[in-house]
């Protein structure tokens, strides 16, 4: 797997296995299948309620701890230093590891207030201090954020000691937040793209399908490759062995011209998935 360098000198695999909506009792088997398929970056979160299953899958894989890059996230609703500090220790316990490779603030606002006018700048500074402390103690190898806009990032950068090393954002064909991506990359913050297949909605998009046929690949493969060619870490999720394996078959290159066309494609309609805060722009 290709890797990307974070500004603290650590390296992260650019293809990660996402575990959102994978139940705790299914997570171990899915993680083992992903590791068998060649993934070496596993992405989870406190909010996914599957850290124990993810940890079990990693342990049962037979791979050494240092061979696997683990990302988890502090719950969006946690907005105090004390709660964040305790939650990091709880994640380590549930995962069954001495450290995680990357931990993120899951969202700048609690999910029920996502996109609201209340920005939680002060509170995020407090949470970030807990992440900085965990980083200095060696409990985490890198620290970052998720779903942060430019001003959310500037708040951390201006008021804290350590600049975020990563920002995990919704990014896919039909929704490419170029302003956030450019800001992050200009400031040496690695961008991670979650839901690169638009929570499955891209699979039914005829415009995307046309490009996939041109390259002789599946729509999912085209979508994942697109985010990788934006120089982001791509985090596809799949639960079947077939799809887990297929999502690693990315030995093709999208031309610069087609990348520009894909960036300009119309926004995808998330349909019934709009009840999820991340897919509802209000």
Active-site residue list: 48
Q: Positive or negative CA dihedral for 231, 34, 102, 195?
A: positive
Neighbours of 97 (CB within 10 A): 20
Overall size of the chain counted in residues? 282
DSSP per residue, 156-210: HHHHSSS--SEEEEE-BTTB--HHHHHHHHHTT-EEEEE-TTGGGGGGG-HHHHH
Instruction: Name the residue with tokens 């990563």.
Output: 166
Residue 74: beta bridge partners? 105
Tokens found for residue 184: 């992050």
What token pair was written down for 188? Answer: 């040496």
The first and second tokens of residue 206, run together, are 């005829």
C-alpha torsion sign, points 239, 240, 242, 245 = positive
- How far is 242 from 59, CA to CA, in rounded Å? 23
CB distance 265 to 232 below 8 Å: no
């Amino acid at each position: 797997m290709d890797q990307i360098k974070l500004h603290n000198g650590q390296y992260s695999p650019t293809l990660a296995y996402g575990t959102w909506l994978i139940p705790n009792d299914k997570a171990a088997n899915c993680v083992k299948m992903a590791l068998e398929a060649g993934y070496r970056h596993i992405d989870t979160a406190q909010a996914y309620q599957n850290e124990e299953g993810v940890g079990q899958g990693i342990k049962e894989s037979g791979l050494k701890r240092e061979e696997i890059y683990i990302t988890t996230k502090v719950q969006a609703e946690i907005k105090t230093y004390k709660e964040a500090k305790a939650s990091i220790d709880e994640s380590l316990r549930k995962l069954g590891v001495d450290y995680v490779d990357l931990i993120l603030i899951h969202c700048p606002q609690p999910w029920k207030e996502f996109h609201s006018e209340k920005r939680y700048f002060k509170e995020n500074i407090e949470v970030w201090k807990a992440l900085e402390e965990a980083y200095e103690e060696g409990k985490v190898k890198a620290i970052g954020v998720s779903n942060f806009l430019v001003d959310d990032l500037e708040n951390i950068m201006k008021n804290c000691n350590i600049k975020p090393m990563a920002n995990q954002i919704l990014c896919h064909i039909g929704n490419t937040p170029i302003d956030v991506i450019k800001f992050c990359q200009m400031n040496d913050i690695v961008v991670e793209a979650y839901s690169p297949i638009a929570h499955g909605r891209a699979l039914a998009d005829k415009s995307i399908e046309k490009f996939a046929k041109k390259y002789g690949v599946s729509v999912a493969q085209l979508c994942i490759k697109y985010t990788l060619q934006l120089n982001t870490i791509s985090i596809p999720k799949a639960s079947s062995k077939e799809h887990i394996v297929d999502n690693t078959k990315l030995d093709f290159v999208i031309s610069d011209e087609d990348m520009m066309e894909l960036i300009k494609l119309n926004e995808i309609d998330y349909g019934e998935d709009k009840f999820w805060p991340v897919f509802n722009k209000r």
